[in-house]
Amino acid sequence: MTFKDLDLSNQLHYAIEDLRFENPTPIQEQAFSVIRSGKDVVGIAQTGTGKTFGYMLPILRDLKFLKTQHPRVLVLVPTRELVLQVVDEIEKLGKYLNIRVLGVYGGANINTQKQGIAQGQDIIVATPGRLYDLALSNVLKLKTIQKLVIDEVDVMLDLGFRFQLMNIFDLLPERRQNILFSATMTEDVDALIDDFFKNPEKISVAVSGTPLDNIEQVSYNIPNFFTKVNLLHHFLKDRQTYHKVLIFVAFKRTADLLFKHLEEVFGSELCIIHSNKTQNYRIRSIRQFDEGKNRILLATDVMARGLDFDNVSHVINFDTPDFPENYMHRIGRTGRAEKAGKTILFSTEKEQENKETIEELMDYKIPVLELPEALEISKLLTEDERPKEDSQQSKNRTALEFVPGAAFHDKSEKNSKTNQGGSYRREIAKKYKKPKTRGDKNYNLRNKKK
């Protein structure tokens, strides 16, 4: 099937020809007629299969030109970066259409966004928090929304957006089309669908957790953090093979520590994104990596969720994620649009259980490769990798040297309390005599004269 077989307008055909796309992906093909029917839709497809075009093509096909100020389509996504990407995709598809689209998200000037809304928009792409703020300010009217799209809904729920989503649903008109797209289906997502969707039609292109066939997966068993760093150096020095590399870590502090050790060798080839970085820094890092100005991008799970990068040669999982679904999203950054991709998983002994959970979800055993002979096995441990008893002593002493001194015992004995019962109270009473009667000062004076 080609895009010419879909009932698209001439303007959409022109835009797709400019993008040099010929064949719709399975999710795009199956979702087109269902979304156009007006039914509530739940689409489950692996990351990298074109979900954004899957819901925007049918929406744009039937979105007529109207001189209304208030939006008719609302797209909710979990992160600011994803807002920018979806807006860019819509603008590409709507190149020959007379549509107005605006992205709104936290961390940017809300007054500028209010001005953009006041000028009139057809489509709003937003993060839940900023959208709710704008709706409460009465600048953004949501009663005109005809189609609600929730993209990457499982991430929204993981990030604690459930309460904000509930509030947004209350502000929307009851008669609307709900469209939900995600790469994984969780119990929380199921509960959301049961509460707010009316007899949705489900489109499942692949079982949640099934890896893409065009992604080659390998893994290495590695003893510690700094040996992982050494192995990364070994790979990244091959600039021809590893020409566009996305490295995932679980935590911001791990990302910063790894960036510090990689920057010493790779310098300007390296960029990083996580939530502690400023919005401009993150947008610049994403753009430079996508354009090929930076060869290596270091990212946390949430920041890179849903982002679409062209021609990523390798996804390297510096750590093994706690949740197997996160692994699926990570590896989906390569092998996009049916191109071949490669992923590498690093696992310590503590992470083996997480790896087994991932393999169970995929029903696939990730091949384990031998470490390169030239690799230096580091004996240096991070603070998290050191035995717990080490944290109780000075870093400059060994376990045998750490013996509390005499001053410690003297202070403990001095500060210890003893229960002296009634005798203690009697001693205090003798030392600090109280007047026999309250307020009768003359009584005490007379006793002293006697």
Report all structural domains of the chain as residue ranges with CATH numbers, in order of start: 3-204 (3.40.50.300), 215-392 (3.40.50.300), 406-438 (no CATH)
Instruction: Calculate the dihedral angle through the C-alpha atoms of 259, 328, 3, 149, rounding to the nearest 10 degrees.
Output: -90
pLDDT tier at 207 (50, 70, 90 boundaries)?
A: low
Spatial separation of the C-alpha atoms in residues 335 and 448, rounded to whole Å: 100
pLDDT tier at 402 (50, 70, 90 boundaries)?
A: very low
Residues β-bridged to residue 179: 41, 149
Spatial separation of the C-alpha atoms in residues 360 and 325, rounded to whole Å: 11
Instruction: Calculate the dihedral angle through the C-alpha atoms of 114, 115, 118, 122, rounding to the nearest 10 degrees.
Output: -80
Say yes or no to pLDDT of 401 above 70: no
Considering only 26-30, 145-149, 299-303, 336-340, which range has the smallest mean pLDDT? 336-340
Which whole number is the average pLDDT over 298-310?
A: 77
Say yes or no to pLDDT of 305 above 90: no
Spatial separation of the C-alpha atoms in residues 292 and 38, rounded to whole Å: 40
For 55, residues 6+ apart whose C-beta sits below 8 A from its C-beta are 31, 35, 41, 43, 149, 151, 179, 181
Does residue 63 contact residue 122 with C-beta atoms inside 8 Å? yes
Best-predicted range by mean pLDDT among 36-50, 148-162, 246-260, 390-404? 246-260
Does residue 159 contact residue 104 with C-beta atoms inside 8 Å? no
Q: Fill in the DSSP letter of residue 125.
A: E
Beta-strand pair 245-249/123-126? unpaired
**Entry pTM:** 0.71
Spatial separation of the C-alpha atoms in residues 87 and 422, rounded to whole Å: 79
Considering only 123-137, 158-172, 233-247, which range has the smallest mean pLDDT? 158-172
Three-state DSSP state, 127: coil
Please state, rounded to an integer, the average pLDDT across all residues of the chain. 84
* pLDDT score at 411: 52
* pLDDT score at 399: 47
Which whole number is the average pLDDT over 234-253?
A: 94
Cα of 58 vs its chain's centroid, Å: 28
Does residue 32 contact residue 55 with C-beta atoms inside 8 Å? no
Say yes or no to pLDDT of 439 above 80: no
Cα-based distances in Å from 379 to 224, 255, 316, 403: 8, 21, 22, 26
* pLDDT score at 339: 74
Residues β-bridged to residue 248: 299, 317
Considering only 99-108, 113-122, 203-212, 372-381, which range has the smallest mean pLDDT? 203-212
Spatial separation of the C-alpha atoms in residues 392 and 371, rounded to whole Å: 34
For 40, residues 6+ apart whose C-beta sits below 8 A from its C-beta are 177, 178, 179, 197, 198, 199, 200, 201
Q: Percent of the chain, pLDDT > 90?
A: 53
Strands of the 341-347 sheet, one edge to the other: 215-221, 341-347, 314-317, 245-249, 296-300, 270-273
Which whole number is the average pLDDT over 395-420?
A: 52
Better-predicted residue by pLDDT, 82 or 47? 82
For 447, residues 6+ apart whose C-beta sits below 8 A from its C-beta are 436
